[in-house]
Amino acid sequence: MKNLGFERNLSEYTLYIKEVDGKVLVVSLYVDDLLITWSSKELIDKFKEDMKVVFEMTGLGRMIFFFGMQIFLCQYKYAKEILKKFNMELYKPVATPIN
């Protein structure tokens, strides 16, 4: 991980962080699994390419369960991005779609 430019977290030794141009990639190692989160899709694509050169790897997609616990993710940021994409970020919310 250090050869790929990651820094090891001092309080959690399974956690590695890499920052490139203000974008962050976080990797948690657990036995033979990697849990990855990022602020840039390009960073994760590059990371996967780099890892495939060294290791046989399979991407399992988005994580739903971790240690048998279901993960709940908030989609607030995603919803805000969709509204911005369609120039609707200044619209006011309503309780039902038809007012």
Model pLDDT, residue 7: 92
Question: Is 99 a residue whose pLDDT tops 70?
Answer: no
The pTM for the full model equals: 0.58
Question: Is 68 a residue whose pLDDT tops 80?
Answer: no
Model pLDDT, residue 55: 84
What confidence tens digit (pLDDT) does each residue in 6-54 have? 999 888 888 899 988 888 888 888 877 788 887 778 888 888 888 888 8
Overall average pLDDT of the 54-81 stretch? 73
The CA-atom distances, in angstroms, between 9 and each of 27, 39, 78 are 10, 18, 28
Residue from 21, 25, 31 nearest 4 by CA: 25
